[in-house]
Amino acid sequence: MINLLKLTLLISFFYTQLNYSQEEKNIELLNKEIMDTSDEFQSEVFFKKAVSFFIQKKWDSTLVYSQKQLITSKIKPLENFTHFLRGYSFREKNYFYESEKEYNLISNKFKFYNKVRTILGDLALEQKQYKKAITYFKEVLSLSKTQLDSSYIKSSSITHNLGLCYLHLKKFNESEKYLTKSLLFQEQKRDTLELIGSYGDIAILYYEQYKDDIAIPYFEKAYQLAKNSNNLNSRYTTSKNMAAVEENRKDYKKALAYRKEMEQWKDSLNNQNKIYAVAKAEKEFAVKEKQKEVDILHVENELKETQRNIFLYAAIGLLLTLGTGVYFYSEKIKANKLIATQKENLDALNTTKDKLFSIVSHDLRSSVNALKTSNSSLLENLNSKNIPILENLLQKNSAIVNGAYSLLDNLLNWALLQTEQGYFNIDKLRLFFITEQVSYNYKPLLNQKELSFENTVTKKDIVFADQESLKIVLRNLLDNAIKFSEPNGSIKIYSTNTEENYCNLIVEDNGLGMSEATRLKLLSDSELLAKKENEDIIGTGLGMQLCRSMIKKNNGKFNIESELGKGTKMIVSLPKTSPHG
């Protein structure tokens, strides 16, 4: 059986996952309401600053300016919003007692008062005050559907949390009633992330009652769902839970396999999907090339037929021969020009294809060989159970797989760009929200390398670009900045407006930097790929070439400022006005 401490950890995890899954869906709506309120009271400077830092998730600054707002202003409509900002900020800093005090200062006239009661229930649950949490949750569940929707509350989440409270109180029958009700709703809705949490918590309910035969299938359901989700925490935790189950069943071989999967599961399925997508794109590319060859042969056959007709017409008469000869001579020149142009395009496409195949074969072979070598070392150290060495080797494997994943992703986007199969739509975009969204996915890598990160892109900056291609450019630039930064370094993203028609988006790091020769190669259009300068870091330069192509397609400009040992600035200049006027 899983011991009591292990069960507590699992329950805590799945509660947090479900809670924040719903919070992520509603936070944008809440932020909009708060920003609208800030715009309504333009003269309240401290409140505007508190809201600005709240949107940026800078909780300490939010607390400072919200406190100044409470001291200097007595505008009643803003007091509730200010206490809400403070309660939320304290909760994010894990100061639950202070958070609860702020939420309790909010009056029942507040627009999101029902949401506040829900949060107070969450705080009680997080502080293990289960009876108190039950009171709050039952109060919220008594509301009508209209009241719940207007406050951004989902009844299934409240029902689930009630089940958790009763589970902690060892009231298993009540817990089973609420958890089962929540699960039925989630199965109807087919929300994968929430289903994983529901299956996991029901598994714990039965596992704590020593009903292993009922519990383990739910653990396995959660694990199977997580394999097909994009949520890293779900994959990690379900693999960890299965490892614990197998350890308790004394099947240490399976337990070890699940523990290895905890480290390696992150990218395996996605990599396979990317490989299939690249293979499909390459196949379509090859079919198009073959069709072009057929068209050229068809033109050549037509030319031969034309020449035979010229001699035939010449035999009929000199006059007809002269007129016909001039006509077909001009047609021949046009056809030859067409063939020459097609041949040049075909040669260029063949060159691109050959270089892409060279990159795939070389880099994937290198990655697979590195994994093979690392796995051999892993197996050699497995019997000795040398945990530090095993952990180092697993981290090395994860880095290799991440590199291969980035290569495959860039190859797929390159193939789509070259064959003009990708969807491309230039539209009006706010730079800050794009950069914030992309950089959020890199927080685990930044934390792993202990890099400080700052996004100071101005919220008012608007550009005209294709959103998805801009995200690809940002991912490559951030990936390079992290890759070429030393541990404990820093990375910044900010914007400048030094040109009338362009807004500059800058990704700056204080890492290894590059020589002037390398900088010029990366900016050159004559090179298909830039060679890597630092042999200790995996890279082909395809990502930078992809960035240049996509920036150009967005009517933008690209520049690099760098010195060896002094870091690098990647500068993307995007138009402020629509290309269609």
67-71, 238-242, 264-268, 302-306: segment of lowest average pLDDT? 264-268
16 band by pLDDT with thresholds 50, 70 and 90 = very low
- Give the pLDDT score at 9: 38
Q: Give the number of residues written for the chain.
A: 581
- Give the pLDDT score at 535: 44
- Give the pLDDT score at 542: 73
Give the whole-angstrom CA distance, residue 194 versus residue 15: 10
Angle between helices 76-92 and 96-104 in degrees, nearest 10? 160
- Give the pLDDT score at 88: 92
Residue type, 461: D
Residue 273 pLDDT > 60: no
Per-residue HEC secondary structure of 213-279 comes to: HHHHHHHHHHHHHHHCCCCHHHHHHHHHHHHHHHHHCCCHHHHHHHHHHHHHHHHHHHHHHHHHHHH
25-29, 70-74, 126-130, 169-173: segment of lowest average pLDDT? 25-29
Residue type, 259: R
Give the whole-angstrom CA distance, residue 425 versus residue 579: 11
Q: What is the mean pLDDT of residues 179-202?
A: 80
Give the whole-angstrom CA distance, residue 155 versus residue 256: 39
Angle at 411 between CA 405 and CA 416, to 5 degrees: 130
Q: How far is CA 449 from CA 226, 235, 440, 536, in A?
A: 26, 22, 15, 16
pLDDT in tens, 476-517: 899 889 888 999 999 999 999 988 889 999 999 999 999 888
Give the whole-angstrom CA distance, residue 483 versus residue 544: 13
Q: Domain spanning 423-575: which CATH class is it, in words?
A: alpha beta
Residue 386 Ramachandran class (φ > 0 left, ψ -120 to 50 alpha, else beta): beta
Residue type, 486: E
- Give the pLDDT score at 543: 78
Mean residue pLDDT across the chain: 78
Instruction: Please tell me the number of Cα atoms within 13 Å of 383 on its side-chain side.
Output: 3
571 band by pLDDT with thresholds 50, 70 and 90 = very high
- Give the pLDDT score at 313: 78
421 or 464, which is more confident?
464
179 or 372, which is more confident?
179
Give the whole-angstrom CA distance, residue 125 versus residue 119: 10
- Give the pLDDT score at 64: 93
Give the whole-angstrom CA distance, residue 477 versus residue 482: 9
Give the whole-angstrom CA distance, residue 68 versus residue 45: 10
- Give the pLDDT score at 439: 87
Long-range contacts of 22-29 (CB under 8 A, 24+ apart): 22/154, 22/157, 26/152, 29/152
306 or 366, which is more confident?
306
Q: What is the mean pLDDT of residues 449-459?
A: 90
Angle at 274 between CA 269 and CA 279, to 5 degrees: 130
109-118, 171-180, 396-405, 482-491: segment of lowest average pLDDT? 396-405
CB 442 within 8 A of CB 397: no
Residue 230 pLDDT > 90: no
Q: Give φ, ψ of 261 to 5 degrees.
A: -65, -30
272 or 355, which is more confident?
355
Q: How far is CA 31 from CA 57, 224, 531, 569, in A?
A: 11, 35, 45, 32
pTM greater than 0.75 (yes/no): no
448 or 508, which is more confident?
508
- Give the pLDDT score at 407: 61
290 or 555, which is more confident?
555
Instruction: Please tell me the number of Cα atoms within 13 Å of 104 on its side-chain side.
Output: 10
- Give the pLDDT score at 370: 64
Q: What single DSSP character describes residue 182?
A: H
pLDDT in tens, 521-567: 888 765 554 444 454 454 556 778 888 888 888 899 999 999 898 89
- Give the pLDDT score at 452: 92
Q: Above pLDDT 70, what percent of the chain? A: 75
- Give the pLDDT score at 2: 39
396-410, 423-437, 478-492, 501-515: segment of lowest average pLDDT? 396-410
10 band by pLDDT with thresholds 50, 70 and 90 = very low
Q: What is the mean pLDDT of residues 361-371?
A: 63
- Give the pLDDT score at 68: 92
Burial of 146 (0-12, 13-18, 19+ CB in 10 A): exposed
- Give the pLDDT score at 192: 77
Give the whole-angstrom CA distance, residue 419 versus residue 430: 29
Which helix (DSSP H) or strand (DSSP E) does residue 434 occupy?
Answer: helix 431-440
453 band by pLDDT with thresholds 50, 70 and 90 = very high
Which helix (DSSP H) or strand (DSSP E) does residue 376 occupy?
Answer: helix 318-382
Cβ count within 10 A of residue 201: 27
Domain layout of the chain by residue ranges: 272-407, 423-575
Backbone CA torsion sign across 440, 444, 447, 451: negative
